[in-house]
Structure 1
Amino acid sequence: MNGPTDSSGSGGSLQSRRIALKRWNILREVLLNGKFNHISNDTVSVRRFKSFGLLLTEKLPNKGEIISEGQWFIYRSDKWPEFYMHIRHLSDHVSPASLCGFNNTGNVCVWPSEEVLTYYCLQHLDMFKEASVIELGGGMTCLAGVALGIQSNAVHVELTDGNEASVANLEMIIKRNSPRCKASLTTRVLRWGSEPLDPSLVGKFDIVLCADCLFFGEGRSDLVKTIDELLKPEGRAILLAPKRGNSFDQFAHLAQSMFQVDIEQQYDDAVWGMHLKMTEKGIEHYDADIHYPWLMKLIKLPGTRESSSER
């Protein structure tokens, strides 16, 4: 895939053009210096809102590891005092080469949708009992998948991303957390649309998880097809993503050819409460269109895999 296109629907206003220019200046700094150290104007970056505060993080000492390559954190939640997981974040150093190829956004940060998906899964652990689960496009952390591996009674959880650096990091995360995992955890590179799905994955999973993977327009139909191929006949997918202009609705429209599509805006009191609180602060701090994740559930329609394989 190529880089993301702007689907925010903001039009060609003077303010939008100014923000776009500043974003290009950020990219220029990254390409020249390999790192971006400051954000001078909050309106420049979609990262101005970073978290719903559902998970607590604490930096851990780097024992013998080169700090410039990665940093370990411990993730906890006040709601589940016994729960914790060790997660390694990749360095914020970015090379020009790493900006090329398959989507690299999951190496940059943990997006709010991934945080909310993790919280949602922990809230609904019964859903994953004896299930085979796969997380798609989980970036460098696959927070939801790792949390399920530790806390749920799933049989197996597969952590995937299309970026090799992410998957290498996931291997380290699995190794660090494996002594406490209830479920089997594995990871692999998985890219929808670029190559045929590995036959060993076809029809293997009860549940597919996905957070904020809908904004690449050229990949949406491939993602729908991949989810269909991965799921068992009675399987379901759980997706959380912001509206991002019309990207969410366009994906939902595509998915209706293969799935029953259920969409919820208000699915958790804590998430909704934080959304309302941040909305009051204004768009300078929080833009619901790019920050608030809507819940989409996909349930396979009878015979979809057979019909899709005929096309």
Structure 2
Amino acid sequence: MEPENSPPIPTPPTSSSLRWKILRRALRRNSENPSTLNQVSRRARHGFNLIPCRLVDEVTEKISVSLPNRDACFCYTLPLPNAPKLFLRQRLEDCADLNDFEICNRYDIDNTGLVCQWPSEDVLAYYSMTHLSSFRGKRVIELGSGYGLAGLVIAMVTEASEVVISDGNPQVVNYIQRNIDANSASFGDTKVDSMMLHWDQIEVLETAGTFDVIIASDCTFFKEFHKGLAQTIRCLLKEDGLSKAILFSPKRGDSLDKFLVQVEGSGLHFSITEIYDSDIWSRHKKILKGNESWPNYETDHCYPLLVTVTR
């Protein structure tokens, strides 16, 4: 029996409380010093600049779906012969409201998919274009896709049999579906679908054990989601000895290492590749030397490693 005056045992913080704490800290810093967020953020406006893109007008480009006032449309020019244009709708930078965080709390998810196009997604999309045979004729799913750049690139140029682009945030999934609709004429015979997928609900999936390739980028940032992500990968991969997950993620301190502990704990195997593409590695070195502009660039936080996961 505990003494009457013993201090209460602290309960571990929930995912939602941690997110609100981060938001509160950011808002306070912003009010005290407007330049602080620019100093703290690891986000890059253009990342590694692997796929040229430009802001376009939906009317001029004859895009059939109109955009809300807070959205923008970007046209990506894929560096492949005869590749179609890819149109991606996303939020305007720094556009968020309290409803975004209310939805995050309701579904126990994060809001990063709405923030911007993250550099690791750009790397994943580019890598896919240089490894077409890894996807040809395969059933592919992207986890935590954000606006869906990599999944859409694979659907457009690799001749995959099917591509499912998923996220756990219903707002993000709405963007994914609109981006699928906007590019549907460029998919050829590839079937493309959006899907809301929460990594803690994999036991109800009818698609368990049906995917040849799983892709994801920068999905190991939040440590509380590591176990769910590892279990989701195990659940979705085919048991044929040939299926694999292709993940791109910076180390971010011990975050990636802790995720890999969960991968091993799920009975999966992994390998890490630092130099997986000569062009990406060259740009990384140029940025480190200051030959290309990327404020606050650090290898640990910005350069994504290639993690291959197999059964």
Q: TM-score, normalised by structure 2?
A: 0.81
Matches within 5 A, 1:34-45: 39=35, 42-45=38-41
Q: Percent identity?
A: 29
Equivalent residue number for residue 203 of structure 1: 209
Q: Deviations over 1:53-108 (max 9, x none)?
A: 10111112133835523111111134556342111112342111202422110111
Unaligned runs of 5+ in 2: 1-14, 60-64
Equivalent residue number for residue 99 of structure 2: 97
**8 Å contact kept, 1:160–1:187:** yes
Matched, 1:261 2:267: no
Equivalent residue number for residue 50 of structure 2: 54
SS in 2 for 1:149: helix
Which structure 1 residue ranges, 4+ long, deviate > 4 Å from structure 2? 26-29, 38-42
Read off the aligned partner of 2:230 and give its amino acid letter. Answer: V
Unaligned runs of 5+ in 1: 6-19, 30-37, 301-311
Equivalent residue number for residue 2 of structure 1: 16
Q: Following TM superposition, by how much is the alpha carbon of 1:253 offset from its aligned partner in structure 2, in angstroms?
A: 2.0
* 2-structure distance, mates of 1:246, 1:150: 35
* 1-structure distance, mates of 2:140, 2:270: 19
Q: Following TM superposition, by how much is the alpha carbon of 1:43 offset from its aligned partner in structure 2, in angstroms?
A: 2.2
**8 Å contact kept, 1:121–1:144:** yes
Matches within 5 A, 1:64-213: 65-78=66-79, 80=81, 82-92=83-93, 93-100=95-102, 101=104, 102-139=109-146, 141-182=147-188, 183-193=190-200, 195-213=201-219
- Identify which of 277, 280, 287 aligns with 2:289: 280
* 2-structure distance, mates of 1:217, 1:153: 34
* 1-structure distance, mates of 2:177, 2:68: 18
**8 Å contact kept, 2:113–2:145:** yes
Q: Following TM superposition, by how much is the alpha carbon of 1:290 offset from its aligned partner in structure 2, in angstroms?
A: 1.2
Equivalent residue number for residue 252 of structure 2: 244
* 1-structure distance, mates of 2:18, 2:132: 33
Equivalent residue number for residue 280 of structure 2: 271
* 2-structure distance, mates of 1:263, 1:88: 32
Q: Deviations over 1:148-184 (max 9, x none)?
A: 1111111100000011111111111111111110311
**8 Å contact kept, 1:22–1:44:** no
Equivalent residue number for residue 7 of structure 2: none
Higher RCO (CA < 8 A, seq sep 6+):
1
